[in-house]
């Protein structure tokens, strides 16, 4: 083992930069005492909506809640089919199962990891054959790389599907100079600490331009409330974002654009150094990734992991099992032809350390370790 092990994501470096400001912001909340739905919650929602270029950002308790809230607000439930890429974090399908609807797994594209829209027509036909109503498609901006939102929109409109963008990893990215958050009928994101914009616990938000949807989301977030808190017009959740987390996010949002630039520089440096020995990730033309992860593809993953480990370089496998092969989800249908790309990616992907405070010296150490084995 060489020098000390690098962190995979260095939250302490950001803390050293923003810690004083965040402590002041938190103590402000402690002083006013409005821990639930305090003024910082409305303030962060306004800032987030402006950042994404949409009319509404409804904050909530996690990215998973954001996905569930959107489906609940659209009254998706038993008998409904929701089309999801198999290669994603489990919450992308879990939210569908939680509302009693049926997730149908589609495959993904091998270079950009996003939904293979070409499969949507046959998936819709297969869902109908099973007696399901096709209702929603959930593209995922996996690893921060924006999905092919224009292709998704075209295919979804052919089948009258609602689009829920799972941007848990993608918030901060853009496509044709439009920020992620504006592409679906609704977009869900996560503020889990390791996400590009993370808080100090769990948090999330739903973005939408639809005023009526925004109203329903606000209701779903607090027990399906109607005109007041003891008037309940629908089934809902307790899914509010804590005021303290909103205060943290307000501070972090001020440096977010700069951090995104730093991630972009690191990704470019990785790609320049590794592009010839491994398959490197690339955003599609016109797209800018949020670089939640920098995920390479390698033939002999075990060898690369071992070389990195010996050099004190942590790596992660996102994700070792595609969702259609997960025990809890094996009973759900797949697109005709199955998901062979997802199966293959699960064996080949490897995520390298990525955060905005990664020094060039550490980047070089990571690059050298990968090159040694790839
Ligand atoms: C693609 C994707 N969707 C949804 C989620 C769920 O977000 P959370 O952990 O905030 O519930 C995550 C979190 O990792 C994710 O990566």
Whether ligand 1 lies within 6 angstroms of the CB of 88 is answered as yes
Whether ligand 1 lies within 6 angstroms of the CB of 49 is answered as no
What's the pLDDT tens digit per position in 223-257? 999 998 899 999 999 999 999 999 999 999 999 99
Identify whether the C-beta of residue 171 lies closer than 8 Å to the C-beta of residue 164: no
> What CATH topology corresponds to 256-373?
3.90.1150
* pTM passes above 0.85: yes
Q: How far is the CA of 90 from the centre of ligand 1 (A)?
A: 8
Whether ligand 1 lies within 6 angstroms of the CB of 89 is answered as yes
Count Cα atoms within 13 angstroms, Cβ side, for 34. 10
Residue of the CA atom closest to atom 8 of ligand 1: 63
- Give the list of residues 6+ apart from residue 3 with CB closer than 8 angstroms, or none: 312, 365
What's the pLDDT tens digit per position in 139-158? 999 999 999 999 999 999 99
Q: How far is the CA of 270 from the centre of ligand 1 (A)?
A: 25
Q: Give residue 318's Cα distance to chain centre.
A: 12
Whether ligand 1 lies within 6 angstroms of the CB of 171 is answered as no
Whether ligand 1 lies within 6 angstroms of the CB of 62 is answered as yes
List the chain domain ranges.
12-251, 256-373
Which one of 59, 63, 144 would you pick to mutate in the ligand 1 pocket, going by the greatest count of ligand atoms within 8 A of its CB?
63
Which one of 59, 64, 87, 145 would you pick to mutate in the ligand 1 pocket, going by the greatest count of ligand atoms within 8 A of its CB?
64
Q: How far is the CA of 231 from the centre of ligand 1 (A)?
A: 31
Nearest ligand 1 atom, CA 141: 1
What's the pLDDT tens digit per position in 289-308? 999 999 999 999 999 999 99
Whether ligand 1 lies within 6 angstroms of the CB of 112 is answered as no
pLDDT at 112: 96
Looking at every residue in the chain, the average pLDDT score rounds to 97
pLDDT at 229: 81
Residue of the CA atom closest to atom 10 of ligand 1: 63
Whether ligand 1 lies within 6 angstroms of the CB of 166 is answered as yes
Whether ligand 1 lies within 6 angstroms of the CB of 187 is answered as no
pLDDT at 374: 84
pLDDT at 1: 47
Binned at pLDDT 50, 70 and 90, residue 74 comes out as very high
Q: How far is the CA of 91 from the centre of ligand 1 (A)?
A: 6
> What CATH topology corresponds to 12-251?
3.40.640
Q: How many residues does the chain have?
A: 374
pLDDT at 346: 98
pLDDT at 357 over 60: yes
pLDDT at 2 over 70: no
Whether ligand 1 lies within 6 angstroms of the CB of 208 is answered as no
Q: How far is the CA of 338 from the centre of ligand 1 (A)?
A: 24
Residues above pLDDT 90, as percent of the chain: 98
Task: Determine the longest span between alpha carbons in the chain, in angstroms.
Answer: 63
Nearest ligand 1 atom, CA 194: 14
Nearest ligand 1 atom, CA 204: 10
User: What is the spatial distance between Cα 87 and Cα 139, in angstroms, rounded to a whole number?
Assistant: 11
Q: How far is the CA of 1 from the centre of ligand 1 (A)?
A: 33
Whether ligand 1 lies within 6 angstroms of the CB of 143 is answered as no
Mean pLDDT for the stretch of residues 66-77: 98
Which one of 192, 193, 196 would you pick to mutate in the ligand 1 pocket, going by the greatest count of ligand atoms within 8 A of its CB?
192
Q: Between 229 and 72, where is the model more confident?
A: 72
Whether ligand 1 lies within 6 angstroms of the CB of 192 is answered as yes
What's the pLDDT tens digit per position in 199-210? 999 999 999 999
């Amino acid at each position: 083992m060489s020098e000390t092990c690098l962190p995979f994501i260095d939250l302490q470096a950001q803390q050293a930069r923003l810690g004083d400001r965040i402590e002041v912001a938190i103590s402000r909340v402690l002083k006013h005492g409005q821990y639930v739905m305090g003024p910082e919650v409305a303030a962060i929602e306004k800032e987030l909506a402006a950042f994404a270029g949409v009319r509404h950002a409804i904050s909530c308790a996690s990215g998973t809640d954001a996905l569930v809230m959107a489906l609940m607000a659209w009254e998706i439930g038993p008998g409904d089919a929701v089309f999801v890429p198999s290669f994603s974090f489990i919450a992308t399908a879990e939210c569908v199962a939680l509302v009693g609807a049926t997730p149908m797994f589609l495959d993904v594209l091998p270079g950009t990891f996003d939904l293979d829209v070409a499969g949507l027509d046959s998936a819709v036909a297969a869902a109908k054959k099973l007696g399901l109503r096709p209702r929603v498609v959930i593209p995922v901006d996996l690893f921060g790389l924006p999905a092919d939102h224009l292709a998704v929109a075209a295919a979804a409109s052919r089948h009258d599907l609602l689009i829920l963008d799972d941007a848990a990893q993608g918030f901060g990215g853009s496509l044709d100079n439009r920020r992620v958050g504006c592409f679906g009928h609704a977009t869900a994101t996560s503020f889990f600490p390791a996400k590009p914009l993370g808080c100090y616990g769990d948090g999330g938000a739903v973005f939408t331009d639809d005023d009526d949807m925004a109203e329903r989301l606000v209701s779903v977030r607090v027990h399906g409330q109607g005109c007041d808190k003891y008037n309940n017009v629908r089934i809902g959740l307790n899914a509010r974002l804590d005021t303290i987390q909103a205060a943290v996010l307000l501070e972090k949002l001020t440096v977010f654009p700069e951090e995104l630039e730093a991630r972009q520089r690191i990704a470019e440096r990785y790609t320049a150094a590794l592009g010839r020995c491994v398959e490197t990730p690339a955003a599609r033309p016109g797209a800018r990734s949020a670089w939640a992860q920098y995920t390479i593809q390698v033939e002999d993953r075990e060898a690369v992991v071992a070389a990195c480990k010996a050099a004190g370089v942590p790596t992660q496998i996102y994700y070792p099992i595609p969702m259609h092969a997960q025990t809890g989800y094996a009973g759900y249908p797949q697109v005709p032809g199955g998901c062979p790309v997802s199966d293959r990616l699960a064996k080949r992907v490897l995520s390298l350390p990525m955060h905005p405070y990664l020094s060039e010296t550490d980047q070089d150490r990571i690059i050298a370790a990968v090159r040694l084995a790839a």
